Amino acid sequence: MTKGLVIVYTGKGKGKTTAALGIALRAVGYNQKVCMIQFIKGSWHYGEMTSSKRLEPEFELTAIGKGFVGIIDDKSPLDDHKKVAEEALRIARNKINSKIYDIVILDEINYAVNLDLINLEDILEIISNKPNDVSLVLTGNHVKNEVIEKADLVTEMKEVKHPFKSGIKAKKGIDF
């Protein structure tokens, strides 16, 4: 049996979710089953919500978040975000332990911890108790050192230049 890895994509640069989707695309090419649970995204439409359906049945996307917390047009109370994040955590545990998936992606989970929507201890418990043959991919900035210590691979995305700083707004197909 092959040991599943714990992979973390973090940092202030773009590309964390995209890197995780790259793993999903590669895995589907080998008929592996992949599940992505989005902890923050959810209230807006993202391209991956539509394109992921083309990868079914090997790839499953669950966008459960209420959207970005405390920014742009967020009017939801923090308690609502916490309830949804706890539900995402429950779903994640079920998917990880279901014996169905080879890879489970916990998208934006590091942000959820940083925003106090879920507890660090829950993440550490998930990592420690995951089935040996399941790989986990955790994305989002502000990853905690305890998660880094448990991970097999950690990649930090570093922003060198960003079009937003030049007044270019988010682009369909590139940013969402």
Please state the domain extents for the chain. Answer: 6-166
Q: Are strands 153-156 and 103-107 parallel, antiparallel or unpaired?
A: unpaired
Could you confirm whether domain 6-166 is CATH 3.40.50.300? yes
Query: Can you read off the two tokens belonging to residue 43?
Result: 């209230």
Examine the pLDDT at 74 and tell me if it is beyond 60: no
| Stated length of the chain | 176
| Residue 6 burial (CB count, 10 A) | 20
Among residues 113, 175, 115, 168, the alpha carbon closest in space to that of 144 is found at: 113
With bands split at pLDDT 50, 70 and 90, how would you rate the model's confidence at 21?
very high
Q: Is the dihedral of CA 87, 88, 92, 93 positive or negative?
A: negative
Answering whether pTM is above 0.75, one says yes
Whole-angstrom distance, CA of residue 27 vs CA of residue 35: 11
Percentage with pLDDT > 70 across the chain: 89
With bands split at pLDDT 50, 70 and 90, how would you rate the model's confidence at 148?
very high
Whole-angstrom distance, CA of residue 148 vs CA of residue 102: 21
Percentage with pLDDT > 90 across the chain: 67
**Contact yes or no for 151/126 (Cβ under 8 A):** no
Q: 76-128 pLDDT, tens per residue?
A: 676 887 898 999 999 999 999 999 999 999 999 999 999 899 999 999 999 99
Whole-angstrom distance, CA of residue 160 vs CA of residue 162: 7
